[in-house]
Amino acid sequence: MNAKKRSKYAYFYIAPFFIVFLIFSLFPILYSFVLSFCDMDVLSGKFTFVGITNYKRMVESGYFFQSIGNTLLIWIMSIIPQLTIAFVLSLILSNKWFRGKFLLRNIYYFPNLVTPVTIGLLFGALFSYPGGAVNNVISMLGLEAVDFQNNQMLARMVIAIAICWKNFGYNIIYFTAGINSISEEVMEAAQVDGANGWQRITKITIPLMKPILIYVMVTSIIGGLQIFDESKLVFTSVPGNATTTMVKYMYDSAFVRFQFGYGAAVAYGIFVIIAFFSLVSLRVTGDKKDDYGKKREGRRSKLTRK
Amino acid sequence: MKKTLCRILVYLFAFFVAAAAFYPFFVMIISSTHDNYNIVAKINVLPGDKLKDNFDRLTQNIDLTRGILNSLMLAVVVTVVQNYFTMMAAYAFSKFQFKGKNFLFSVVLVAMMLPGQLGIIGFYKEIQALKLLNKYFTLIIPTISNCFAVFFYKQFLDGALPNELIEAAVVDGCAELRIFHRIAIPLVIPALVTQGVMTFIGTWNSYLTPLIILNDKKKFTLPLMIATVRDATHADYGAQYVGMLVSVVPMVIVYAFASKIIMEKIAIGAAVKG
C-alpha cells in the first residue's frame, strides 16, 4: 500500500483537534476582535458597532496604563529575588559534597504545585492586619504591626512575594539542568589548572549560564504579564487598585462591570504589549553566540545534552 | 578550617530558604488546628485541638466533598480526552504526508504563542450564545485544542516511533486505528504520562475559565469553592486555613507519586511549557 493512499487517514486523525481549535480557539479570538469594536447594552445584551471608541477610551482613561505599570512593578519585585535565590541555590545544590539535595529540592519546588487560589488566600491571611501570622511576628519583635493591604507598594510586594515563593523552585530545577549540561571536561581542566571553587563558579559556570539566565529573565516577563489569580485573590481591595494587573483589569471590565466590548479591546491591548515584549525577548536571546563563539542552538538542545 | 566555615554558611543559607519556603505551609497546618482567637492573637508553634471544630464550620458553608469530587472528575476526564486527541493530531503530523501539513503545523506553532486570555471574552460570548454556560462540556472539549501538547507529542513521536514499524503493520494489513492504538500509543507511554501529569495538575489548579463558565454552586470545582470560603466565612481564619489545607493535600499525593516525572518534564521540555 502506498503512502499516498494512506494519507487520507491523516485528516481523520487531525480532525478532532482542528475542529475544536476552529470552534473554541480561533473563532473566539476573531470574535473578540469584532466585539472590541462594539458596545454591549447590559440589559438587552445587544451589541452595537462603535468603531474605535473602546480603544480610544482604553488609551485615554489611563487605567489600562496604570494596570501595565502595576503588572511590571509586581513582576520586577518578584523576578529579581526569585532568580537570584534560585541561581544561588542551584549552584549550592550542584556541589558534590552537599548532603540533603533531594529533600531540599522537593521543599523548594513544592509551592509551585499549590493551587493559585490557595496561594492567594494563604498570603492574604498571612499578611492580614492586624492579626496575620507575619504581623504577629512583627509585633513580637517589638515593632508596630504593618497594614499591608492599605499601602500600595507593600500590597504589591506581598503579591510579588507570593509569586516568588511559588516559582523559585521551578527555576532551581531549570538552572540545575543548565549547570549539569556544562561539560565535565571544562570543569576538570579548570581544576587541573588550579582554579578553586569560587573561580570555577565565577569564571566558568556563570559565563556559561549567562545565556540561560538572560533567556529565563526575558521570557518570564511573558508569564509575568499574565498574572491574574494572585492579583484577584491576595487582597480584596487595595487603595487606588494598586494591585490590579492587566488581565485582572480585563476581567473586571468584562465580568464585573459587564463591558464586554471594552474588555475585548483590553484583551487586544494586552496582546499588543505581550507581542512587543516577545519580540524584544526574541531579539535579546535569539541568534546569540556563547562565550566560545559557538552558535547557541536554543535552550532545548542545550538542556537535553546532559 | 576556612572551608568548613564556608560550608556551614552554605548549609545555613540553604536551610534558611527551605524554612522560609515551608513557613506558609507551617502556619497553614498549625493555624488550622487553633481557634480564631489564638490565630489572631499569638504566634502558634504547637498544634491545637480545634481542627474538628474548624472543619465543621467550613463544611457548614461549603460542600467540600462535592468540590473535591467535581475537581477530580474534571481533571481525570480532561486529562484523558485532551491527551488522546492531541496525540492523534501529533501522530498525523509526525507519520503522514498530506496536503496542507506544513501550513497546519505552522498554525499550531503560531497559536502556541498567543496568550490564553486573548479570546476569552469571545469564548464566553460564544458559549453563552450556544447555551453551554454552566456545563462541564465547556470545560472539557475546548481543552482538546492544546497546541503545546501537539507540539510536545510530535517531537516525541519523531524519535520514538520508527516509520518501518508502521509500514510493517500496514503490509500485514493492520487497520489504521489499530495501528494507532496498538503500536503508536504503547511506544509513547512515557510522553503520555509526563504530559498527562501536567494536564492533571493544570486542570486541578485552573481558576479563570471555571470562574466565568460555572455559576451553579453544585458544579463548583475545588478552587472555586476555596475562593468563596473567605466571603462565606467572613473573618473565620480557622475555617479558611482548613479549606486551604484540604486543597493542598491532593497535590501532595500527586507529588509523592510523580515528583520525578514533573522534574524531568521541566528539565527536558523547558522550551515547551505545557
pLDDT exceeds cutoff 90 at B262: no
The CB density around residue A241, as the number of other CB atoms within 10 Å, is 17
Q: Give the residue-averaged pLDDT of B165-175.
A: 89
In a domain, A39, yes or no: no
Chain B positions touching A226 (Cβ under 8 A) are: 115-117
Inside any domain, residue B147:
yes
Residues B2-29: tens digit of each pLDDT: 788 888 998 999 999 999 999 999 999 9
Candidate from A300-304, B46-50, B145-149 with smallest mean pLDDT: A300-304
Largest pairwise CA distance in chain A:
83
Distance CA A166, CA A170 (A): 8
Residue B7 confidence (pLDDT): 87
- Give me the domain span that covers residue B183: 54-271
| Closest Cα in chain A to B8 | A98
Beta bridge partners of A40: A47
Instruction: Report the share of chain A in percent with pLDDT over 90.
Output: 41
Q: Nearest chain A residue to B260 by CA: give it.
A: A106
Question: For residue A88, what is its C-alpha cell?
Answer: 544561588
pLDDT of residue A286: 60
Alpha-helical runs (H) found in B101-188:
101-113, 120-129, 136-140, 147-160, 163-171, 176-179, 185-187
Which residues in chain B touch residue A28, judged by CB atoms under 8 angstroms apart? Answer: 119-123, 126
Residue A58 in contact with partner chain B when CB distance is under 8 A: no
- In whole angstroms, what is the distance from residue A148 CA to residue A228 CA? 19
pLDDT of residue B268: 67
More confident residue, A304 or B101: B101
pLDDT digits (tens, 9 = 90+) for A188-242: 888 888 888 788 888 888 888 877 777 777 778 888 888 999 899 898 888 888 8
Residue whose cell numbers read 494598586 = A242
Residue pLDDT, tens place only, B110-129: 998 888 889 999 999 999 99
Angle between helices B64-95 and B189-205 (to 10 degrees): 140
Residue B26 placed within a domain: no
- CA pair distance A191, B155, nearest whole angstrom: 38
Per the CB < 8 Å rule, is B119 touching A32? Answer: yes
In Å, how far from its chain's centre is CA A168? 11
Q: Is the pLDDT of residue A299 over 60?
A: no
Rounded Cα–Cα distance for residues B120 and A250 (Å): 10
Q: What is the maximal distance between C-alpha atoms in chain B?
A: 76
Q: What confidence score (pLDDT) does residue A3 get?
A: 60
What are the two backbone dihedrals, phi and then psi, of residue A38, each rounded to the nearest 5 degrees?
-120, 165
What integer is the mean pLDDT of A255-273? 93
List the single residue in B27, B86, B207 with the smallest CB-CB distance to A229: B207
**Model pLDDT, residue B270:** 47
Q: According to the model, what pLDDT value does residue B137 have? A: 94
Asked if residue B120 lies in contact with residue A267, where contact means CB atoms within 8 angstroms, the answer is: yes
Asked if B75 contacts B87 with a C-beta cutoff of 8 angstroms, the reply is no
Distance from B22 to chain A by nearest Cα, in Å? 7
**Whole-angstrom distance, CA of residue B161 vs CA of residue A96:** 37
Using a CB-CB distance cutoff of 8 angstroms, which residues of chain A are in contact with residue B262?
109, 113
Cell 559534597 locates to A97
Residue B141 with chain A: CB contacts under 8 Å: 20, 24
Q: Is residue A223 part of a domain?
A: yes
pLDDT for residue A48 is more than 80: yes
Q: How far apart are CA A6 and CA A225, in angstroms?
A: 45
A296 three-state secondary structure: coil
Say yes or no: A24 contacts chain B, CB-CB below 8 A.
yes
Which grid coordinates are listed for B71? Answer: 475537581
Does any domain span residue B59? Answer: yes
Confidence band of B90 (pLDDT split at 50, 70, 90):
very high
Work out the average pLDDT over B231-241.
80
Distance between CA B96 and CA A3 in Å, rounded? Answer: 8
Q: Within 13 Å and on the Cβ side, how many CA atoms surround B167?
A: 6
Residues in chain A within 8 Å Cβ distance of B17: 85, 89, 108
Structural domains counted in chain B:
1
Domain assignment present for A166: yes
Residue B17 lies in a domain: no
Binning pLDDT at 50, 70 and 90, where does residue B203 land? Answer: very high
By Cβ distance, the residue of B145, B208, B263 closest to A21 is B145
Q: Spell out the residues 6+ positions from residue B100 whose beta carbon is closer than 8 angstroms to its own.
A: none
Model confidence pTM above 0.95:
no
Q: Residue B168: pLDDT above 60?
A: yes
pLDDT at residue A285, as a whole number: 65
User: What confidence category does residue B145 fall into, taking pLDDT thresholds of 50, 70 and 90?
Assistant: very high
In a domain, B201, yes or no: yes
How many separate domains does chain A show?
1
Residue A2: its pLDDT value, please? 57
Q: Where are any strands of DSSP class E within A42-171? A: 47-49
Taking a C-beta distance cutoff of 8 angstroms, is the pair A169, A110 a contact?
Answer: yes
For residue B71, give the H/E element and its range.
helix B64-95
Residue B14 is assigned to a structural domain of this protein = no
Dist CA A262 CA A272 (whole Å): 15
* Burial status of residue B178 (CB atoms within 10 A of its CB: 0-12, 13-18, 19 or more): exposed
Q: Average pLDDT, stretch B222-235? A: 82
CATH number of the CATH domain containing A119: 1.10.3720.10
DSSP string, A51-63: TTHHHHHHHHHSH
Q: Residue A97 sits in which domain range? A: 57-304
Question: Using the beta-carbon criterion (under 8 Å), do A85 and B17 form an inter-chain contact?
Answer: yes
The partner residue sitting opposite A20, judged by closest CB among B7, B97, B142, is B142
pLDDT at A265: 95
Query: Is B123 part of a structural domain of the chain?
Result: yes
Mean pLDDT of B61-86: 93
Which range is least confidently modeled, B141-145, B166-170, B260-264?
Answer: B260-264
DSSP 8-state code for residue A289:
B
Residue A298 pLDDT class (50, 70, 90 cuts): very low
Q: Report the C-alpha dihedral over residues A297, A298, A300, A304, rounded to 10 degrees.
A: 40
Judged by CB atoms closer than 8 Å, whether chains meet at A17 and B86 is answered as yes
Greater model confidence, A112 or A217:
A112
What number of C-beta contacts closer than 8 Å exist between A and B?
270
DSSP A157-217: HHHHHHHHHHHHHHHHHHHHHHHHTS-HHHHHHHHHTT--HHHHIIIIIHHHHHHHHHHHH
* C-alpha to C-alpha distance for A96 and A107, rounded to whole angstroms: 19
Rounded average pLDDT over A158-180? 89
The count of C-alpha atoms lying within 13 angstroms of the C-alpha of B81, restricted to the half-sphere facing its C-beta, is 20
Q: Is B152 on the interface with A (CB under 8 A)?
A: no
Say yes or no for a CB contact (<8 Å) between B205 and A11: no
Interface contact B92, partner A, CB < 8 A: yes
B32-61, pLDDT tens digit by residue?
A: 888 877 777 777 778 888 888 888 888 888
* Residues pairing with A38 in the sheet: A49
Nearest chain B residue to A7 by CA distance is B98
| C-alpha–C-alpha distance, residues A284 and B239, integer Å | 48
User: CATH number of the domain that B176 lies in?
Assistant: 1.10.3720.10
* CB-CB contact of A121 with A106 (8 Å): no
Residue A115 lies inside a defined structural domain of this protein: yes
pLDDT band at A297 (very low <50, low <70, confident <90, very high): very low
In angstroms, the CA B92 to CA A57 distance is 46
The mean of the pLDDT values for chain A is 85
CB contact under 8 A, A13 and B227: no
Q: In this structure, is residue A24 part of a structural domain?
A: no
Is A15 contained in some domain? no
| A92 to B227: CB separation less than 8 angstroms, yes or no | no
Distances (CA, A) of A147 to A129, A144, A214, B122: 5, 10, 36, 39
Judge whether B106 lies within some domain: yes
> What is the pLDDT averaged over residues A141-168?
91
Average pLDDT over residues B226-246: 83
